[in-house]
Structures are given as structure tokens and as C-alpha cells.
Amino acid sequence: MTQSNRSLTLRDVSEASGVSEMTVSRVLRNRGDVSAATREKVLTAAKELGYVPNKIAGALASQRVNLVAVIIPSLSNMVFPEVLAGVSQVLEDTELQPVVGVTDYLPEKEEKVLYEMLSWRPSGVIIAGLEHTEAARAMMNASGIPVVEIMDADGEAVDAMVGISHRRAGRVMAASILEAGYKKIAFLGTKMPLDHRARKRFEGFTETLAKSGVEVTEREFYSGGSALAKGREMTKAVLDRSPDIDFIYYSNDMIGAGGLLYLMEKGIDVPGQIGLAGFNGVELLQGLPRQLATMDACRREIGVKAAEIIASRVQGEDTDNSVTLTPKISFGDTLRRQ
Amino acid sequence: MTQSNRSLTLRDVSEASGVSEMTVSRVLRNRGDVSAATREKVLTAAKELGYVPNKIAGALASQRVNLVAVIIPSLSNMVFPEVLAGVSQVLEDTELQPVVGVTDYLPEKEEKVLYEMLSWRPSGVIIAGLEHTEAARAMMNASGIPVVEIMDADGEAVDAMVGISHRRAGRVMAASILEAGYKKIAFLGTKMPLDHRARKRFEGFTETLAKSGVEVTEREFYSGGSALAKGREMTKAVLDRSPDIDFIYYSNDMIGAGGLLYLMEKGIDVPGQIGLAGFNGVELLQGLPRQLATMDACRREIGVKAAEIIASRVQGEDTDNSVTLTPKISFGDTLRRQ
DNA sequence: GTGAAAGCGCTAACAA
DNA sequence: TTGTTAGCGCTTTCAC
């Protein structure tokens, strides 16, 4: 309980226990053979002193850092924490530890965060998306460690990738909507030119519509604020402008839920008069009066697979370096089926 | 773009630029006077090589690590990410960087995470709650760095603390409920014996009720699953058992929202026949058809204050070491006022 | 304005 | 089973 300025070193434990620094180090790391008696002495001394090893020195000496950099755009929607949960679950069974960095969807910030993290010489990198600055790409290339790009499968990876095709997700949803006979379709999303995955979904979506000669009738984008509230407002705005809309595709489930609540309040027949769909498959929505049609983004699974790749590579094993998962569509109660 | 095994060192940059390692180091850290010409040479060489400094070596040599350990129970509800946002915002203007660890509300895991983080010799610690294992407390004491315990103000801090009194929050809510004339009161919460803050709210709540001779009629606890769905289910269960309940106090806004949606569907008069209140003031809820009564937990502000304390202390300045914030109650549309 | 020497606290490799 | 030696890649300090 004595508060000192300098923190304790191996030497202190060595002196307190009468065992060489090297042997103390061995005990503390469970490395090599140490007699039970010595081990006991060391452990007691370390505990008594309240010794906490200095990983900085350890890492420098051993040239090994058991950290995995996980770089994601945001923590403030449920999607990335769920990826993280998958990553943690897998790494828990290894020596590795995830360290999270957040980019706020800004490429320059991503570059900065990546630089910071690489300067700690982690054992691997898991990073969201396939779009990065030239410099970021170069750093990942030069790092010499395994790099897994996640969440997206439409593009080229620097090293390895695990994700879904958002373009395909957009196409599949468009096909289901057309098949159900909807014709006047609106798209509501976030005002995020840098959310490449939302953009790709939108591209796939319009592409499939176009093949049937259908165009998106209305679009609306928001930024900031409560997604639920924004979904509500935007839905109202769009329907006020174009009352003949018969389907709304939302770029995420949260704004979709807002729209759904709004339409229910208005007494509008969903999915009869208007159909709805979102994206993500967030568990949260399960408490809503009706289930929104959506597509699962396989978030947890992506985290799991990515972490497995890193873990194998760190062991020196070879792995797949490109895993594409296929999201399931769920029709819920807001997308009628023929 | 050449992928090598060994990563680059100062020496490499030194050789490439024909400038001593020491001067290269100075340029890269903007320390001391270096002529513009030399600076230029070094920067060019460093960029060309794709050199990323090794912070491990730097930290060991300088005995300084610009990391702040932030230890929280969970990322999967909106509350902690918002604290984090506050922390990040403040640290962004400093040399310091937050590093997040998650404990899942488990004391042993907290102890482990703390140990891991301290072994990287961070410049400060921000940790949720005032309840920790004996060992954790000892480590924080011995660390010799600023430690700020956050979110709670009911108890003793190891070093500094920033939070609200959850006991008081419970009392205030109870008083408002009694004042509004509600009598048959239920409590629905998480089955989390280790969520001390929820426990303290409940204690404050029952304490104030007791003073007016009122007892909590029904309690129900859940774990896992979608909070919205659970709120719905529990509300139904409780009302089926005790149809004369006239108020439900939820331990968080999410289950409260589930309850609210359920009651609205049932056509029950809220807040006339049954009143509702939650806790947290989550922005998400702003899209609901009616506003749930709640109390703001001052999450972002707590993060801001805590980070400010760390930042000041790292500068060697003195600061308050105990900040108690006062949450505002918002009555919304689910708690009638006289 | 620039460089040389010493050492941060640990671990790899070897010796005893 | 235990100890000794020599760095890991940087920064501090001091000399020039």
C-alpha cells in the first residue's frame, strides 16, 4: 500500500526473493523449469510487493506484442460492438488481446489511428472496410503482420478479408421487393458519402431495379440525431411529398423502425399499402409490435472469422485469405410475399 | 512497398538520410532545434521508407506512455460508448489516447483487465464504478498514476471520482411517483447482482417509498436477449399477475420502451391508468410515439470531466478529486404531474 | 544545430 | 535448475 513514484521492477522482486532476475522472469511467465520452492518464493515476493510486470520492456526485449489492432468507424450503433464481441470471444482463448480504435468514418482519422496502432507493433490488424487512403494501404503492406479487412467483400484486400457483398445485399432486397409487386420505391439513408458499404447496397439496389425499368422515386438522407426519430421524420416527409410511394428501403434498421412506428400510428396498412425494409438484423428490434424486413449483416460471425484468421496466422499457420459470408433475408411483417 | 520481416528502425532512416539517429529522432518528434534542410532530408527519407516509429522502444526510453486506460463493463448498450465519446473528445486535444477495456460486469475480469492495462504503464486510469476487488484497489493505489472512478458517487474513491448518486436518483424518482399519486408500484430490472449502480437506484427507490408506507408490489428481473422484447414480456407478465399495478419503474430506458409499446398496443391509458419511468435518458427513445419518463445519467459529461481530471493531473496540475453531477428528471408523457 | 554514450526493464541465448 | 551476458530501439544527457 506504500505509494511510490518509481514502479517496481524485476530487480526489486529478485532482491526481495533472493532469486536472480532471470529466474523471477521465468516464474512470472511460466517459462522453463523452475523448482517448486523457488517458484513459491518468487510468487510470494511478487505478490507482497504488488509487482506488475512492465510489458513495454518485455515487448521490446522479446519482439512480441500480443495485441491485435481492431479499427472500426464507430461505437455508437450496435453493429460494430457486435463485431467486437465476436473478435473478443475468439481471442479470449489465445494470448492475443484486441485493442480498439475508432475512425468516425473519416479516412484521415483512419490513417492516423492505424499509424498510432502500428507504432505499438501489434501482432495483427482487423480493419473495417476495403477503402483506405494510399498511405494507410502502404502502411498495412509494409507492416509485415496479418491484416484482415472486414464487413465488405466488394473489392480487393491488402492481405485478407472477411465480409458480405453489400452490392449483392442491395440486389437481393430489390429483387424481393419487385417480386412482391411494389413499384414506387423510396430510399432513406444516412448522409454519409464515406459509408462505402451503404453506398454499395444502394448501388446494387438501383441496379436491380433498373433492370426491371424501375427507378427510385424518392431519396432522403439524414445526419446526426436519434435514428428512430429521424426515420419517423423522413418517412413523413417523403410520404407528404409523394403519397403514392408503396415501398421504403432504409439503409439501417433503426431508421426503418422509426418509419414503421410512424406508419402504424397513422393507421397505414403495412405491408399492404406500404412495404418496408431495413438492413442489419439488429436484435433490438425484436420488441417492436411488428418485425421489420431486413438482412442480417453477419456481424458477430465476421468478427469471429477475422479473429480466427489472425490467430492462425500468428501461429504461423496458413489460412483462407478471403471469406465471403451470405446474409439471410428475413421478411418479417413488412414485406409481403406472394 | 517492399514487404520485409524486420520493421524499420531509426537507424534505417539515419542511413538513408545521412543524418545521425539522434537528429532523426528529434525531427520525428519536433523536439529541439533542427535546421530546415536536415529536417527536410529526414522527413523525406522517413516517408519514402514508410517508417513507423516504435513506440515500445520510445516509451521504454522516455518512461512515458501517452495512454489512458478506460475500463468499462460493457459496450453493448448505449451508455458506455457515450462516456467514451466524452473522454475521447477531451483527450483529442492532448497527447493522450484512450484505450478501452471491457469487464462484462465481472470483478475478476475487471481485475485481470486492470492488470493487463497497468502492465503497459499508462498515464492514467478511468474506471467505471466504485466497487472493485481488494487486489484491484491495491493495484490502483500502487500504480502511482491518476485514477478516476466514474458513474457513481455513492462510496469512497481510491483517488478521484466523477459521477452521480444513483441512490439519490432512485429517491427522486420515487418521490415524483408518490407525488403523482401512484400507489401500486412494480420494479423491473436486469438480473445483475453486480450492477451496483442499478442496485443503488433500487435501494434509494424503496427507501423513499418506505417512508410513505409504500412497498414495491411486484419485481421482475431478466437477463440476456433484446431489452425491448424483454421489457414487453416482463410488463405483460407482471400485469397478468397483478392487474392493479399503477406504476412500473424500469431499471433502464430500453426495457421501459418495450413496456410502453406493449401498453400502447393494449390500449391502456398511460400515464392515467399506469405510469412508467426508466433510467438513462437515451437519445434513441426520441423516436417513440410517446416520451418515457426518465433521468439523465450525464454520461457524456462524466466522460468529459474524468478525462479533464486525468489531463490536468498528467500536466502536474491539481484538480478536484470528487465531482458529483446532478441528473435531471424528465417527466415525458408517462408520468403524470399534479 | 548535431552527435556519442549510456541505459530504460525486460528476455533470448548461452553457460554453468 | 539457475545465472550471466548482451541487446531490443529508442530517448536522455552531455559534449561539441
Closest CA–CA distance from residue A120 to any residue of chain B (Å):
5
Residue–nucleotide distance: B62 CA to D12 C1' (Å)? 8
Region B166-296: CATH code: 3.40.50.2300
Q: Are the CB atoms for A250 and A294 separated by under 8 Å? A: no
Distance of residue A142 Cα from the nearest chain B Cα, in angstroms: 5
CA B253 to C1' C8, whole Å:
50
Bases of strand D lying below 7 A from some protein CB: 1-13
**N-term to C-term CA, chain A:** 72
Tens-place pLDDT, residues B175-230 = 999 999 999 999 999 998 899 999 999 999 999 999 999 999 999 999 988 899 99
| Most B CBs within 10 Å, among A55, A99, A140, A291, to test the B interface | A55
How many beta-carbon pairs under 8 angstroms link A with B? 148
Q: Is the pLDDT assigned to residue B88 strictly greater than 50?
A: yes
Q: Stretch B154-160: mean pLDDT, rounded?
A: 97
pLDDT reported for residue A79? 87
Of B95, B134, B63, B316, nearest in space to A7 by CA: B63
**CA-to-CA separations, B105 to A314, B72, B76, B195, in angstroms, rounded:** 30, 8, 12, 7
3-state secondary structure B261-290: HHHHHHCCCCCCCCEEECCECCHHHHHCCC
Pairwise CB contact (< 8 Å): A226 & B283: yes
Helix axis angle, B79-91 to B299-314, nearest 10°: 30
Global pTM value: 0.95
pLDDT tens by residue, B237-248: 999 999 999 999
Averaged pLDDT, B144-167: 97
Interface of A with B in 23-82 (CB under 8 A): 50, 52-57, 59-60, 65, 75-76, 78, 81-82
CA angle, B232 then B151 then B208, to 5°: 65
Q: Is the pLDDT of residue B2 over 50?
A: no
The answer to whether B216 faces chain A, any CB pair under 8 Å, is no
Distance from CA of A129 to the nearest CA of B (A): 21
pLDDT at residue A325 in the model: 98
Residue A321: all three cell numbers together: 485469405
B278 in contact with A, Cβ within 8 Å = no
Domain boundaries, chain B: 1-51, 166-296
Which residues make beta-bridge pairs with A149? A127, A161
Task: Say which CATH class B1-51 falls into.
Answer: mainly alpha
Residues 6+ apart with CB under 8 A from B242: B184, B186, B217, B218
* Per-residue confidence (pLDDT) for residue B76, from 0 to 100: 83
DSSP tally for chain A: helices H, then strands E: 12, 12
User: B33-87 pLDDT, tens per residue?
Assistant: 999 999 999 999 999 999 999 999 999 999 999 999 999 999 888 889 999 999 9
Q: Which chain B residues 35-64 have CB under 7 A to strand D?
A: 53-54, 57-58, 60-62, 64
pLDDT score at B6: 79
Strand C closer than 7 A to residue A143 Cβ: no
Residue contact B228–A56, C-beta within 8 A: no
- Selected residue of A4, A54, A75, A250 to mutate for chain B interface (largest B Cβ count, 10 A): A75
Question: Is A106 an 8 Å CB contact of chain B?
Answer: no
CB contact under 8 A, A59 and B55: no
Place of cell 516504435: B54
**CB burial of residue B163 (10 Å; 0-12, 13-18, 19+):** buried
Protein-nucleic contacts, chain B 6-25 to strand D, CB < 7 Å: 6-7, 9-11, 21-22, 25
Distance C15 C1' – A22 CA (angstroms): 14
The amino acid at A151: M
Residue B82: exposure state from Cβ atoms within 10 A (0-12, 13-18, ≥19): buried
Chain A residues near residue B265 by CB distance under 8 angstroms: 289
* Cβ-contact B300, B85 below 8 angstroms: yes
Q: Which nucleotides of chain C are near protein (any atom < 7 Å from a CB)?
A: 1-13
* Per-residue model confidence as pLDDT tens digits over B118-131: 999 999 999 999 99
Given a contact cutoff of 8 angstroms between Cβ atoms, the answer to whether A157 and A150 are in contact is no
Which protein residue has its CA closest to C1' of C3? B20
Check for a shared fold between B1-51 and B166-296: no
CA of A313 to C1' of D3 (A): 35
Q: For chain B, give the longest Cα–Cα distance.
A: 85
Grid coordinates representing A164 are: 458480405
* pLDDT for res A4: 55
User: Do residues B46 and B40 touch, judged by C-beta distance below 8 A?
Assistant: no
Segment 306-335 of chain A within 8 Å of chain B by CB: none
> Chain A, 174-213: which have a CB under 8 Å from a chain B CB?
none
Res A1: pLDDT = 42
Nearest CA in chain B to A134: B1
pLDDT, tens digit (0-9, with 9 covering 90-100), for B290-337: 999 999 999 999 999 999 999 999 999 999 999 999 999 999 999 998
Range list of H helices, chain B:
10-17, 21-29, 36-49, 55-62, 79-91, 107-118, 134-143, 166-179, 196-211, 227-241, 253-266, 299-314
Tens of pLDDT along chain A (338 residues) come to 444 567 899 999 999 999 999 999 999 999 989 999 999 999 999 999 999 999 999 999 999 999 999 999 998 888 899 999 999 999 999 999 999 999 999 999 999 999 999 999 999 999 999 999 999 999 999 999 999 999 999 999 999 999 999 999 999 999 999 999 999 999 999 998 899 999 999 999 999 999 999 999 999 999 988 999 999 999 999 999 999 999 999 999 999 999 999 999 999 999 999 999 999 988 888 999 999 999 999 999 999 999 999 999 999 999 999 999 999 999 999 999 86
CB contact under 8 A, B232 and A287: yes
Using an 8 Å Cβ cutoff, are A190 and A222 in contact? Answer: yes
Q: How close does chain B come to A102, measured CA to CA in Å? A: 10
